[in-house]
Structures are given as structure tokens and as C-alpha cells.
Structure 1
Amino acid sequence: MSTAEHEQGAVRETPDRYGAFPRLTPEQLETLGAHGERRRTAEGEALYREGRPMREFLAILSGTVEIIHDQGGPDERTVAVHGPGRFLGELGLLEGQAAFDTAVMRQAGEILAVPVEWQRTLVGRDPVLGDLILRAYLGRRYLLIGLGAGFRILGSCYSPDTLRLREFAARNRLPHRWVDLEKDKEAEALLRRFAIRPEETPVVLWKGDRVLRNPSNAELARLIGLPAPAPALSSDSGRCDVLVVGAGPAGLAASVYGASDGLTTVTVDAVATGGQAATSSRIENYLGFPSGISGGELVERAVLQAHKFGARLMVPAQVSGLTPQDDEYAVTFTDGSRARAGAVVLASGVRYRRLEVPGIDRLEGVSVYYAATVHEAGLCRADPVAVVGGGNSAGQAALFLAHHASRVHLLVRGGDLNADMSRYLVDQVEQHPRIEVLLHTEVREVGGQEKLESLTVQDNASGERRELRATALFVFIGARPHTEWLSGVLALDEKGFVLTGADARAVADAHRWASPGRDPLLLETTLPGVFAAGDVRSGSVKRVASATGEGAMAIRLVHEHRERRGHQVATGSEGHQPVAGGSVSSR
């Protein structure tokens, strides 16, 4: 996007250099017009404002519209001007979030207003028009992120709460800008302007007048309009057919297939939709996308698809307990709320392992990262960086960062890049002029006080040490599952992954399974009606495609569980609690 230009009293329209501002054809406007209304607009009229929910899809029939960030604030700027045929809004419109900019009529004209509920339906039903709108909205969201639009996080780079808020915003792909209390010149002025004491930071600032002092992730989510737990599912009376824990590829697939099959489906995630896949800059071996697709775009499409079929997605909502209740399962959350579900799909994924190097703690979130998204890449500023890891995540990160950094050192502990990385990635990594692959290499020390300046690495074959200049370190060294809350509830393997199918049958309590009269199904755990899919499952293939397939398969198995005999509760033995069995379904 470029700054709007005003020449001789006329407003010049922003060119569509990025594909984010397509023009609708007369036929497409006619299709939209059948479900909307035409309105005359006056010069200076605000069509929507930053920080407020957008309720309508707006297409320009005549006149011009100026898009403004931080209207009325110290950083006010015009970022785009649109004319007839263009349409307004961005991804937040489809997902129920607040607007991240303000739209003002600069030349009076006429607009077409379509209720957003119908627009969501259109995106799913009309493949041509729907894809045009969705691609534009995805492009605009990433442009907003690159511009640093949206809210500001004011906090110290040494503050764990600052890191928490930045991670939450980045993982949810929310436009924002971080103002470092330690280094940014504007920080002191903002503290004085809003009468904020340093000990009250971090704070979130939005629209020039809204201040949240060290908010929780849930409070920030409410500010933006992310879907929070509804009253119906925040009490003992709340019930759903399927509750999906985790909103990565497996969880989103379960959401789509569960809702499309007519099951009341609720999906919850403690941090963000997308899981680790959302942090991938490019997925090139996912079926149906020959030119590749970013993890963020894949996730956003899946989220919209889940909404299309009526699935409920709630973020942040962290599950803390799973217990039988009558003939169903009671699920408790860390905020004290509860929900009941006839079946549960565990798709909580994994979190990356931390690199254990002395002194690295102080640099995490400042110049040591466990994801490589647009947000982290924007901090590289053409400096050399290092990536630790030898799998696909490390390879994808190295290729992505090579577009931003002057040099990427890929540090691999093993002696063969082909051991854990797909061949297509190995070829690209080895051929890229900005990527240096260092095999048999491990990080021993980090240099720098306030931010990373250098790394001391060691060749684990020869023992030789050397120093590398690097201003950022990206770590991809494996993962551990999100299953701490399941310990003692169902069977896990020695690494904490959930046992399913034959593995679950080998350790299952025979008395517990006497009531359903069967063994655990393929993705079923040692609890009847509780399934696991994706990376959290023991023995799973750590690929986006396999996680998606398992999420879909889990719903098929939920139906099979429901189609068995009526609910019966078996009394567990040896300290086990009663567990619900299957139920009759008319499906």
C-alpha cells in the first residue's frame, strides 16, 4: 500500500500492486446487490471506524473512500484510496473482529451494503467471487501486519508478560506494533501521555484512548473481538456433541467434518487457531497447492470453512480437566468454566522444545524465537541469523528468512540433512546462495546482553569451536505434547503422547470397556468416546496432511462410537473412575 496522493484537489486511487484490492465486475456487483442495499453517502462520512465491529460488506459504486490508520491519533496516516468497483474490509470482517482501520468518504457517492452473515455464506457457495474476496482479505491482513497497524503493545523486552502478549498477537495474526520500553524513543512520551507508571507495563494501547494495563490474553481477545466462551458453554448446562481440544490442522479438520456432518461442534485452543502449522512460512508439499501455501493462509481458510458449517471456535480457552459425568464427559477450563460433550477429540498438538544453552533465557522473545513468521522476520533487518534444527520446520524457516536476512546459518546436529528433511526442501536449502548449512554443529554459548550478537558453535565430530555473528536465533529442535493435564486421566507413552488404537487396547482396563462391548477404535484412547488426532497422538506422522486426515477420521469414528449401543456407564476398577460408553444415533 502506498500513501494516498492528493494532486490539484483530486484524490488518486491506490494502485493494486499486491492483488489485495481487486475490482468487482458488474456481474459480481449484481450478484451482491441481490442480497444488499444501495446507499448514498456524503463527503466526510465514516463508513466504519477502527476498533469497532464491522457488520457489513461494503462495495463502492461511485465516489472514493480513504482508508486511515489511527484516525485522530499522533500516527494518523492515509494508507489507501479506493474508487468504484473496489470493496472494503479485511479478514476481521469475516471473523467477527473489530476493524483495524477507518474508512471515510472523500468524494460523495454510492455504496452497496451486504450483511456480513450473507457474505460468509457467499464465500463458501460462490467459488469465484468467494475466492476473490478471501484472497483479497488475506492479503490485506498481512499488509496491515507489515504496516504495524492495529493496537500497540508497550512493554520491556525483558518482561515475560510483554513476550506473552506479543506471542498471542503474532500467533493469532493480529495487526499490532511493539513499542520497546527500553529502546524506542516514543515510549517515554506514551508513558507521560497516558499517565502510565513503568511498573504498570506492559500495556495495550488502541485508538488513541483505550489502555489495558497488563491484560490477560482473554482480555486482549475481547478487545479485538476474538470469540470467547459463550454463556451456554460456560455453565454446567452447556453441551455439545463433540468438543475438540486444539485448533491446529487436526483440530480444524475435526471441526469442519464434525459441523458439516450435523454434530454440534465446539473447538477450543489455549493460544490461537492454527497450531505450529500457522507459523510455517511456506508449505510446499500439501496436496492441491502446487505452488505452496503459507501456514497462515491455510489456517485462515480452514477457520472460515469451519465457521461456514456452524462450528464454534473459542480462543483463548485452556482446558484443565476431563472427567466422566453421567453418560458424557465434563470438560473444565482454567478460568473455572465447564462444558459437557458426548465425545472429545484431543488435537492439542505439540510445543517446540527450548534450546538449553546458558544465558539464552534472557534473550527469548527478544532475539531468540521458536517460530519464523512475518512478525519475527521483520525484526531481522538484513542482518545475519541462525536456525537450529534439521527437520522440515527448520528448512522452511531458513528459506523464508533468507528473503529478509543477509545470511542464514542452518545449524544441524546430525551429519545428513536428508535424515529428517524432505528432499525438495534439502535441494532448495542447499542451492540457496544466502543459506550456509553447518552439519555436526551445536550451539554452546550465546553472546550479547540486551539482544543476541553472536553464537559460539561446536563441531560435535571434531570438537572445534567457532564464533558466528547472528542477531537472531530461530530454534526448531523437536517438540513435546500438550498433555500435562491428561496425566492420570488416560494412557500416555513414555514421552507424553496419547496412546490410541491397538496401543491403547494393550493397556486399557478391560472392565472399563466391558460396557461398550468393544475394543478402542483406531484413534480412540483408553477412554471410550475420547479420540486423539494429529501430533499429540503417539506414533503419528508429523505432517500437516496426516494431521488433517486424522482430524477427519476422528469424526468418522465419533459416529461409529455414537452408533453403538446406548449410553452405559461402567464402574472402573483399581482407582479408575466411571467412563461413558457409546450412544444411539439416528444418523
Structure 2
Amino acid sequence: MSEHVPETPDLFGAYPRLGDAAMATLAMHGERRLTKAGEVLFREGEPVPAFFVIAEGKVAIVQRYGSQDHVLGVHGRGRFLGELGLLTGQAGFLRAVVREAGEVLAVPVPELRTLVAKDSELGDLILRAFLARRTILIERGAGFRIIGSRLSLDARRLREFAARNRLPHKWVDLEEDAEAEELLRQLGFKPKDTPIVILRSERVLRNPGNAELARAIGLPVPRTREIVGDLLIVGAGPAGLAAAVYGASEGLATTVVDAVATGGQAATSSRIENYLGFPSGISGGELAERAVIQVEKFGAQICVPAEAVSIGQRDGYYTIGLDEGRVVHAHAVVVATGARYRKLDVPGMERFEGEGVHYAATMFEAQLCVRDPVIVVGGGNSAGQASLFLAQHAARLRLVVRSGDLGKDMSKYLVEEITRNPGIQVLLNTEVKELVGDKGLQGAVVEDNRTGERREIEATAVFVFIGAEPHTRWLAGEMALDDKGFILTGPDAVQAKGDSRQWEETGRPYPLETSRMGVFAVGDVRSGSIKRVASAVGEGSMAIRLIHEHLHTGGLPPA
């Protein structure tokens, strides 16, 4: 007789129950299969073979540690299994084990993707559940494990890559976690062999590169040495993803590459509350995940991690060199590489970077400073959003602002929320001068820039949002940049290069076109751009209209 197992309640819409109409729709695209107790429907570290809906019986979602199983949830009739990775092609992070024999409806993954794209009601239900489940997994520290020393640069790299790509994982610190050495012993490793990544008990990666980890998880890294298409988009932030949606939907063979993760700087934001169409706000991570599914729906190829390192021109194509020797050929290029937050130029910065100093405020970072004192440095919207989010987790939060007016660079709604929040103390006319601590970050020395008075304030984490530097080093000497390194576009680009006669004959440049004909710059990387998600999305879509004009007039001139 099957063991009676209570079901896990629905959490935040993560485990809805499908009605008869939805079940009937799915039944037209899949097949019914009998199940028996103990059967494994899918395993961690392997591709999930199908979208499973439980018709009868119960299925447990399990995290396996060594030989032990930890049940995270139990689901019965009408519920469906899987999470966001099922739509994006990632390997499973958990296993599904039948607890009460019964029957499941198995829908092939390609059929599911088609349904999600075409059936708005059913697709939205599934997508919202998958997004909620991904967040729950991240919050619980489920998924694969990274074991290493917090002082290791490679361990820091792997943790950052996993966090930026919103991959469910758990960090096991050799210095702090009692289970670390025992785990290593069971796996036949020594502390000197770390960092290691445990995908499942029989598959362990020793200090993998980001690309190796991406391939193991199922992220879409480049599969061939050469890719040829109509459009290459360098950078997968809001501007780049918008360009990909519009480019691919209008018939352009489109490839998107990014060095680290999809979502760009926006994905590090805990909540974006002034983006049109989301009155209750949306996290940057969720916005990116939704955009990726939309991009792939129209057939664009996303490659992460894949860093652009050079640009050239040959045989009517632009050639973009990627790391690891790969090359992309395209008739037109959109540069959407964005910008990264500047670093604090203070003593102690290098020692604590990645171990106490952060440039993002997502759930991953929030988990590192629960009930601890933290400092946020900056006076713009990113600093404001980070402060409101982190204040929900930290013991106390101080917002350090160099100017004397919080509303100088921050939106009014954020200023009002911060002012009302009792967990946030705003320090105006204040600058960080030094980071201090012995084994770990313990605080910061701050200075009142009016009086010169200095004092030390306690903090185990410092979050830095103090302006941005563009990702344009790979373009130096190849196109016109302003004095801060941002890409010049339109007439400014032509004037900087001093070759206006050639452009006048074509009636160009277009507004977003760079000093290279057929190369367009959008979003934060463009000189003079408005640093907002909405404007980045607008520029990305506008670039596609201009690219059609470019291709219609003959494309690139002879090299």
C-alpha cells in the first residue's frame, strides 16, 4: 500500500492546481503514463525529459545530499512539476520521486514552449509558477553546491556567476561550514582541490571555468567556432534583450552574446517600481527571465558566457571575435554592453571585495547579511532600491550619500519610501574613506565632507552604487568614444572621427549609429543616454528599425 503523504500548500502562486480545461488542453499535446512508488521522474544535474502534470498519486520534490534525501515539497492531482529551467533548457536542480503510485501526463518540452507562447492564460499561469519556484529555490539555497574558501578568487568568481545568472545553489564555506570537510572526504577531495561544484553525487567539477559550468548547467554557450547571421547584439541587458525581441520577431537571424549573464545591471535590482505595466513593481531578475523566454520564443540565439573581445570587417560582414577563439559574422551589430558600478577608491577595498563589498542587491547578497548591520553607498535610484530591499533583511542600514540632498539624483517615490522607513538611516554630506576589519569586514570610516569629522560605523557588508563606467575597452580605437569612454552616436560620432563627407553622401548617420556604419549603440553604454530601464528598452527596439533601413540601403560599404 502506498504511504499517505500530505501535500505541500501553495506558496506565492508557485504550486497552483490545474483545472479540467487546462488538463484537457495539455492532454492533446502529451501522453499519460502510469507511475509506481519510488520511480524517479527526473534527476538533478540532468535535462528534465518532459513537463509532468500529476493526474493521480503524489510526487515529492527532493534535494539529495550524498545518500540522504531532503523533501522540499509533495504534490498531488492537478499540480505540475519543474521550474524555470524547463523553459530555458537548463538542467534540473532537484529530483522528482513518486511517493504514491498513480498516473502523470507527460508533455514534451518543445510542445510546452509552444503552448506557453500561444495560450496566454495557461502560459501565464505556468510562467508565473516557474518564476516563483526559481525564487523559492534561490532563497532556500537549493540546487548545486559550490565548496571553497571565501578567500579564493576562483570561488568568488563561481559564486558571482551563479548569482548573476540566478542559478539555485548553496555556498559551502571551508572556513565556516562544519559539513565542508566531511563532504570533501566523502567525494575524495582535499581542501587544496577546491573550489569544486557538486552537480550531483556522481558529477563533480573541480574549479570549472564559467563556460564549463554554464555548459554543465545547460546555459546556451556558443556551440560552434563560427556563427553567421543578420544581427549580432553584444550585451544582454534590457536594451540588448529588447533589440533581440524586435530583431528576431521581424525576421532577422539574431544572436545575443554576454560575458556574464542576461539582464545586465538591471538584473541586480531587487525591485523596479516605475517600469510601465508593472504597478506593483518587478524584480530585475524576473524582468530578465521573462525577456529571455520572449527572446527565445522568436528564435534568437542567446550565448552566455561569451565575451566580445574584438570587432572587424570582412566580405560585407562585421566580424566579432569572442573569447575562446569563436567568431560571429553579422551584417549589423548592436552594442549594448552597458556599464558597471565604479569601485570605491579607499584603503581596504581590494581586501574586502567579493567578501563584504558588493555591487548588486539581490536575494543572494541579502542572504549573506541577514540580521547584520550594512552600509549602502550612493545617491541614485539603484542605491535607493537596494536600501529598501536590504532593510528587510539587515539589522540596521545606513545609506551614505555624498550630496546634501537625497532627491538630487533619486526619484521622489524612493525618497519618500526611504524617509518613512525606520530601518534606514540616511547620512547626507558623507563619504566612505576606509574599510576596516581583521578576518572579515567589520565597518567603514566615514567623513562629513562639510566639517571633515571622521567616525567609524559598524558594517559586515557594504553595497556600492556610485556611478558607472562603460564596458567599451574592447572598442578602444575602433569607434568614437567620449572622454568618459561611452560610445558616441549620430552626428557627434561623425564629427569626432572627422569623416563627415562619406556620411553626407548616404544621408546618415542614424540617431543611434556609431562612427562605424551599421554598428549601433543602445542603453547605458551610449553617450548621453538616460540611465533608465524603459529608455534602454526603447532604444533597443528603435535600433531594429534603423537596422532595417541600413540593410535596405545596401549594408556595409567596402572594407
Q: TM-score range by the shorter chain?
A: over 0.9
CA distance in 2, matches of 1:153, 1:87: 29
Q: Are 1:15 and 2:9 matched, yes or no?
A: yes
Q: Residue deviations 1:240-268, cap 9 Å, x none?
A: 10000000000000110000001000000
Q: Residue deviations 1:135-156, cap 9 Å, x none?
A: 1001111111111111111111
CA distance in 1, matches of 2:221, 2:87: 16
Q: Which letter maps to 2:280? A: S
Q: Which letter maps to 1:191? A: L
Matching residue within 30, 34, 37 for 2:28: 34
Q: Which letter maps to 1:201? A: T
Match of 2:466 in 1: 477
Matching residue within 536, 539, 550 for 1:561: 550
Q: Which letter maps to 1:26? A: D
CA distance in 2, matches of 1:343, 1:528: 9
Q: Is the 8 A contact 1:155 1:181 kept in 2?
A: yes
CA distance in 1, matches of 2:344, 2:67: 41
CA distance in 2, matches of 1:433, 1:75: 43
CA distance in 1, matches of 2:500, 2:386: 48
Match of 2:139 in 1: 146
CA distance in 2, matches of 1:413, 1:521: 38
Q: Residue deviations 1:265-296, cap 9 Å, x none?
A: 00000000000100100000000111100111
Q: Are 1:288 and 2:277 matched, yes or no?
A: yes
Matching residue within 270, 274, 294 for 1:305: 294
Please state how far the C-alpha of 1:512 moved relative to its aligned partner.
8.2
Q: Residue deviations 1:207-243, cap 9 Å, x none?
A: 1222211110001101101011022xx22xx311000
Q: Is the 8 A contact 2:376 2:383 kept in 1?
A: yes
Match of 2:191 in 1: 198
Shift of the 345–567 alpha-carbon distance from structure 1 to 2, 3 Å rule, reads: closer
Match of 1:549 in 2: 538
Please state how far the C-alpha of 1:505 moved relative to its aligned partner.
2.4
Match of 1:187 in 2: 180
Q: Residue deviations 1:509-541, cap 9 Å, x none?
A: 537835972321010000000000000000000
Q: Are 1:453 and 2:442 matched, yes or no?
A: yes
Match of 1:96 in 2: 89
Q: Are 1:330 and 2:319 matched, yes or no?
A: yes
Match of 1:462 in 2: 451
Q: Are 1:207 and 2:200 matched, yes or no?
A: yes
Q: Is the 8 A contact 2:150 2:156 kept in 1?
A: yes
Q: Which letter maps to 1:195? A: G
Please state how far the C-alpha of 1:191 moved relative to its aligned partner.
2.7
Shift of the 566–223 alpha-carbon distance from structure 1 to 2, 3 Å rule, reads: closer
Q: Residue deviations 1:310-360, cap 9 Å, x none?
A: 010010000111001111111111211111000000000011111111112
Shift of the 568–455 alpha-carbon distance from structure 1 to 2, 3 Å rule, reads: closer
CA distance in 2, matches of 1:304, 1:559: 24
Q: Which letter maps to 1:106? A: R
**Residues 118-133 of structure 1 aligned to structure 2 (within 5 Å):** 118-133=111-126
Match of 1:585 in 2: none
CA RMSD of aligned residues (A): 1.5
Q: Residue deviations 1:440-465, cap 9 Å, x none?
A: 11111222122211221111111111
Q: Which letter maps to 1:412? A: V
Matching residue within 357, 371, 388 for 1:368: 357
Q: Which letter maps to 2:20? A: P
CA distance in 2, matches of 1:228, 1:266: 11
Q: Are 1:135 and 2:120 matched, yes or no?
A: no
Q: Which letter maps to 1:56? A: A
Q: Which letter maps to 2:159? A: R
Q: Is the 8 A contact 1:321 1:332 kept in 2?
A: yes
Q: Is the 8 A contact 1:516 1:568 kept in 2?
A: no
Q: Which runs of 5+ in 2 are unaligned?
A: none
Matching residue within 87, 95, 100 for 2:80: 87
Match of 2:381 in 1: 392
CA distance in 1, matches of 2:369, 2:327: 43
Please state how far the C-alpha of 1:59 moved relative to its aligned partner.
0.6
Match of 1:527 in 2: 516
**Residues 199-348 of structure 1 aligned to structure 2 (within 5 Å):** 199-231=192-224, 234-235=225-226, 238-348=227-337
Q: Are 1:174 and 2:167 matched, yes or no?
A: yes
Shift of the 295–567 alpha-carbon distance from structure 1 to 2, 3 Å rule, reads: closer
Shift of the 376–512 alpha-carbon distance from structure 1 to 2, 3 Å rule, reads: farther
Q: Are 1:354 and 2:343 matched, yes or no?
A: yes
Q: Which letter maps to 1:33? A: A
CA distance in 1, matches of 2:505, 2:359: 43
Match of 1:108 in 2: 101
CA distance in 2, matches of 1:382, 1:172: 25
Please state how far the C-alpha of 1:188 moved relative to its aligned partner.
1.7
SS in structure 2 of the partner of residue 122 of structure 1: helix
CA distance in 2, matches of 1:515, 1:36: 59
Please state how far the C-alpha of 1:362 moved relative to its aligned partner.
1.5
Q: Is the 8 A contact 1:350 1:481 kept in 2?
A: yes
CA distance in 2, matches of 1:531, 1:341: 13
Shift of the 98–565 alpha-carbon distance from structure 1 to 2, 3 Å rule, reads: closer
CA distance in 2, matches of 1:33, 1:23: 15
Q: Select between 525-534 and 359-368 the one with higher mean Cα deviation.
A: 359-368
**Residues 385-424 of structure 1 aligned to structure 2 (within 5 Å):** 385-424=374-413
Please state how far the C-alpha of 1:199 moved relative to its aligned partner.
3.0
CA distance in 2, matches of 1:193, 1:139: 34
SS in structure 2 of the partner of residue 10 of structure 1: coil
Q: Is the 8 A contact 2:518 2:556 kept in 1?
A: no
CA distance in 2, matches of 1:560, 1:194: 58
Match of 1:572 in 2: none
CA distance in 2, matches of 1:548, 1:271: 20
CA distance in 2, matches of 1:149, 1:517: 56
CA distance in 1, matches of 2:556, 2:371: 61
Q: Is the 8 A contact 1:150 1:175 kept in 2?
A: yes
Identity %: 60
**Residues 50-65 of structure 1 aligned to structure 2 (within 5 Å):** 50-65=44-59
SS in structure 2 of the partner of residue 93 of structure 1: helix
CA distance in 1, matches of 2:501, 2:117: 43
Match of 1:437 in 2: 426
Match of 1:45 in 2: 39
Q: Is the 8 A contact 2:331 2:556 kept in 1?
A: no
Q: Which runs of 5+ in 1 are unaligned?
A: 1-7, 570-577, 579-587
Using the size of structure 2 for normalisation, the TM-score is: 0.98
CA distance in 2, matches of 1:488, 1:167: 30
SS in structure 1 of the partner of residue 354 of structure 2: coil
Q: Which letter maps to 2:35? A: T
SS in structure 2 of the partner of residue 417 of structure 1: coil
Please state how far the C-alpha of 1:22 moved relative to its aligned partner.
0.4
Moved over 6 A (4+): none
Q: Are 1:67 and 2:61 matched, yes or no?
A: yes
